[in-house]
């Protein structure tokens, strides 16, 4: 559970640094993958 929260917080920080709509889409995709990996542990 803690790893999922950490992954979600990391995703928020990454999204906060995005400057373009395309960049946001790529970051959301990466964050989704990280959350998926964290959930499978």
Is this structure's pTM higher than 0.85?
Answer: no
User: Which positions ≥6 away from 11 have C-beta within 8 Å?
Assistant: 27, 28, 30, 31, 34, 35
Q: How confident is the prediction along the chain (41 residues), in pLDDT tens digits per residue?
A: 788 888 888 877 777 765 566 677 788 888 888 888 887 77
Taking the CA atoms of 16, 27, 10 and 1 in sequence, report the sign of the dihedral they define. positive
What residue spans define the domains of the chain? 2-39
């Amino acid at each position: 559970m803690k790893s999922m929260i950490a992954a979600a917080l990391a995703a928020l920080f990454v999204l906060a640094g995005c400057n373009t709509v395309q960049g946001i889409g790529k970051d959301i995709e990466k964050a989704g993958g990280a959350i998926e990996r964290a959930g499978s542990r």
